[in-house]
Structure 1
Amino acid sequence: MVQRRGGHPFRGADRLGGLNPPEVSATPRRLDYGTSITEVCRGDRQLGVSCRVLPSHRIKGFDGCRALAVVAVFLEHRTALRATELGHVAVLLFFALSGYLIVGGLHSDRVGVEAGQRSVFTALRDFIRRRTLRIFPIYYLALGVLAALSALGLWSGWSWEAAPWHLLYLSNVYQAYVLGTWQDTFGHLWSLAIEEQFYLFAAPTLLLIPARRHAVVCAVVVAVGACVGLAHVAQGASRIVWVTDSMANFAFLAMGGFARTALSRWRMPAAKWIAPACGLALLGLGLVRANDPVNWRMGLGMLEAGLAAAGLILALADSQDSLLVRFLEWRPLAALGVVSYAFYLYTDFLWFAPPWAGPVGHAAAMAVNFMGGLALATASWWLIEKPLIAWGRRARPAAPRTAIART
């Protein structure tokens, strides 16, 4: 039988919203997952897996991380911080966080497959449905609105040449290898393309490979991606090629996945101190001046940033009562984190600052852009994203919130 450890890394998480600790059965049963962790369990030794039950609650601090990351990207795009790697490092934090959650979910799904509770096809279908409902609607809605405005002569930033690349989530490939530079208001779509490409790779791979091998798969992806990134450095590649390469960025998503599958079963000593240390390391690495072409210091520095991001996520998950987590749970910060995807997607499309505006006018344009993006993202969340997520949950059979028993 699974029991709580003293000083459980997610102590108190079961109290969010009044959720009681999940019942533990001696019989392996299907696992469900969301975005939080409340119990540690170990799978049957014959399966050779280790998992956490992931019910519908959230891991405290993660939304705050998203909020800080999206603000960092906003500031880099609008201010003199454009000369630094701050926005790039913030995107790496997004990647590591996505890897932690997505790989963790696929890991739990594979445990369910090995327990005989579902097929690989069913697990893959459910994953695709979840990701489709979460990502596609507002992404394609935004592109459709911009295309319509362009056709009506009301917006000049649209490119019909680039449109197929954006529609197929290949924005990173288009900008690095076709255009050779950032595409004005569409430049930020490269990171969304990377995430979608990783989902298409990770879902079938992890659902077909035994769960006990998932940490190894993540480690291999990290190693290969790091080699690809450093190869770009050795060849003197331009910054845009180095920043947007798919395989190189898979390494950062896999770092989060490795933290979830290999390290999260162990309690992290001094996690409440490690988390702020990793956060400060990320900030310091983000303030490094960007170079084009990239150099070895930057190449190794971004790998260090990825490791720091994964360490931060793991430490936050292991210190849910820490002062840093309490700060990240500050309501305005957490609220921005909830709508961070839409905010990231919309704000660059809304940016307008006349060249003659001057410093005061530029600052005013930034404030209008931020508040307008936040208002639109909030409306998008309540009117589109949240209802679709809720509909997707109702459309699938309910899974019992139970754990695989330890033998």
Structure 2
Amino acid sequence: MKYVKQIDALRAIAACMVIFNHWMPQRYFLSRIGFAAFGVEIFFVLSGFLITWILLENKKTLDAGVQSAGSIFKNFYIRRSLRIFPIYYMVVILLALLAFTGMPGLNFNAAYFFTYTTNFYFFNIKTLEGLGGHLWSLAVEEQFYLIWPAALLFIRGRYSVVIIIAFTMIGVISDIALRNVDYGFLITLTCFHLFGAGAFLAWLKVNNVKAIKKLYTVLKVAAPLALMYYVSIWMSLLPLFGVTLRILDGIMALFVLTHLIYRDDQGRTPAMGFIWNNRYLIEMGKISYGIYLYHPFVKVLLYKVFSLLNIELSAYMPYYIADFLFLLICFAALLAVSRLSWIIIEKPLLNLKKYFTYHQTPAPGYLAAEAIIPEQK
């Protein structure tokens, strides 16, 4: 089974973007750049690619009569459940306990958190504040997993790409239509084009690998233009002119992923290989699901510990050095917690996947990460 280690590095970078944005004190101008949004959107594009690739490869065995749609559905959802549910529900139970103790500002509603519909909950209350605010993206992911297998497996032949394009266009239209609605970006429809972009790359990978070069050529022009446009909007030099920042992010994320896949197909090292082949980033990518889930809790816990011990770092050094040191301590603790979670909880459960294998394992590809939620997902 082929393993593309650079995908794990990309996951690590996406997770770090989220942490950086969420942890950065508001007094620094970098906190106002949408790193967290871009990190989450990279994850969505990754999920669209990896999940679609698995489904399309298994669809070949369905068309050939090797396995049934029912067996594909069963194995897909069991394998996803083994990856996603255990530590997600562990976090939700922790939130429920904190809510029971009366922790202020938590914004916890059990019905939404236990049913993966927190994106609608936060849309209704118009805030993402609280320890569970980051779980909205996992709700969107789960909703994608519920509809996408059926959409792909029951549409035969060349019509798969039609479904992918339609799915993408629904996302673009929804994103633009809801761009002026408060917290409209939490609605699942507004994320469809990110999943669809990754899904289109997967379709090319399975059905027309030579066309990936053409897509890459287009993106080499489109992505820098999207980046320049993004910067000009952030600097208030230009208006959006009918697009959204999420659309621009999606173009840039798809470019990076396409670059990694295209170079891997050619047997070449990606540009800036010192980043993509960095073993620390790759290892971090393997535990990035835990990193994403646990990061708000680790910072809050350490802040309370420092307060209880009456430790004030800024009393001994300039505030900006104190801020950096505290965040460095938080990051080290987060990596430790996520690694322990991987060893003690996640990896043993993932070993159960061997009992739910597809009849024909998808041939050479990217199963090392079945979705945006790492394997580590």
Partner of 2:372: none
Distance 1:158 1:95 in 2: 26
Partner of 2:298: 350
Residue number among 191, 210, 215 corresponding to 2:137 in the alignment: 191
Distance 1:360 1:310 in 2: 36
Spell out, residue by residue over 1:135-190, the C-alpha distance to the aligned partner (whole angstroms, 9 max, x if none). 0000001121333355457x556445x222111111111111x2111132211111
Spell out, residue by residue over 1:357-390, the C-alpha distance to the aligned partner (whole angstroms, 9 max, x if none). 6544433331222111111111111111111111
Matched, 1:257 2:216: no
Distance 1:73 1:196 in 2: 19
Partner of 1:148: 97
Partner of 2:21: 76
Residue number among 190, 200, 206 corresponding to 2:152 in the alignment: 206
Distance 1:102 1:270 in 2: 23
Identity of aligned residues (%): 26
CA contact (8 A) 1:85 1:287 kept: no
Partner of 1:307: 251
Flag structure 2 segments of 5+ consecutive residues without an equivalent: 365-377
Q: Shift of residue 101 of structure 1?
A: 0.3
Q: Shift of residue 299 of structure 1?
A: 3.7
Secondary structure at 1:265's aligned position in 2? coil
Distance 2:222 2:273 in 1: 13
CA contact (8 A) 2:165 2:200 kept: yes
Secondary structure at 2:131's aligned position in 1? helix
Q: Aligned AA for 1:316?
A: L
Partner of 1:66: 11
Distance 1:281 1:93 in 2: 18
Q: Aligned AA for 1:378?
A: R
Q: For the structure 1 residues 216 and 329, does the alpha-carbon distance in structure 2 shift closer, same or farther, using more than 3 Å as the test?
A: same
CA contact (8 A) 1:133 1:388 kept: yes
Partner of 1:385: 346
CA contact (8 A) 1:350 1:373 kept: yes
TM-score with structure 1 setting the length: 0.74
CA contact (8 A) 1:86 1:283 kept: no
Partner of 1:173: 120
CA contact (8 A) 2:83 2:350 kept: yes
Q: Shift of residue 107 of structure 1?
A: 1.0
Q: Shift of residue 308 of structure 1?
A: 2.3
Q: For the structure 1 residues 296 and 62, does the alpha-carbon distance in structure 2 shift closer, same or farther, using more than 3 Å as the test?
A: same
Q: How does 1:235-314 map to 2 (within 5 A)?
A: 236-238=180-182, 240-241=183-184, 243-262=185-204, 265-266=209-210, 268-269=212-213, 296=240, 299-314=243-258
Q: For the structure 1 residues 282 and 333, does the alpha-carbon distance in structure 2 shift closer, same or farther, using more than 3 Å as the test?
A: farther
Q: Shift of residue 227 of structure 1?
A: 0.4
CA contact (8 A) 1:226 1:303 kept: yes
Q: Aligned AA for 2:23?
A: R
CA contact (8 A) 2:230 2:245 kept: no
CA contact (8 A) 1:271 1:316 kept: no
Q: For the structure 1 residues 226 and 103, does the alpha-carbon distance in structure 2 shift closer, same or farther, using more than 3 Å as the test?
A: same
Distance 2:215 2:5 in 1: 14
Residue number among 109, 118, 122 corresponding to 2:67 in the alignment: 118
CA contact (8 A) 1:112 1:118 kept: yes
CA contact (8 A) 1:96 1:309 kept: yes
Q: Aligned AA for 2:288?
A: S
Secondary structure at 1:188's aligned position in 2? helix
Spell out, residue by residue over 1:34-83, the C-alpha distance to the aligned partner (whole angstroms, 9 max, x if none). xxxxxxxxxxxxxxxxxxxxx3x322310111111111111111223331
Q: How many residues align?
A: 338
Q: For the structure 1 residues 274 and 372, does the alpha-carbon distance in structure 2 shift closer, same or farther, using more than 3 Å as the test?
A: farther
Q: For the structure 1 residues 214 and 345, does the alpha-carbon distance in structure 2 shift closer, same or farther, using more than 3 Å as the test?
A: same
Q: Shift of residue 262 of structure 1?
A: 3.1
Partner of 1:362: 323
Distance 2:223 2:287 in 1: 22
Q: Shift of residue 285 of structure 1?
A: 6.8
CA contact (8 A) 1:89 1:285 kept: no
Partner of 1:22: none
Q: For the structure 1 residues 285 and 393, does the alpha-carbon distance in structure 2 shift closer, same or farther, using more than 3 Å as the test?
A: farther
Matched, 1:219 2:144: no
Spell out, residue by residue over 1:324-366, the C-alpha distance to the aligned partner (whole angstroms, 9 max, x if none). 3453121101011111111011001222347986544433331
Q: Aligned AA for 1:120?
A: A
Q: For the structure 1 residues 334 and 121, does the alpha-carbon distance in structure 2 shift closer, same or farther, using more than 3 Å as the test?
A: same
Secondary structure at 1:118's aligned position in 2? coil
Identify the structure with the greater helix proportion.
2
Q: For the structure 1 residues 279 and 371, does the alpha-carbon distance in structure 2 shift closer, same or farther, using more than 3 Å as the test?
A: farther
Q: Aligned AA for 2:52?
A: V
Distance 2:138 2:114 in 1: 11
CA contact (8 A) 2:106 2:129 kept: no
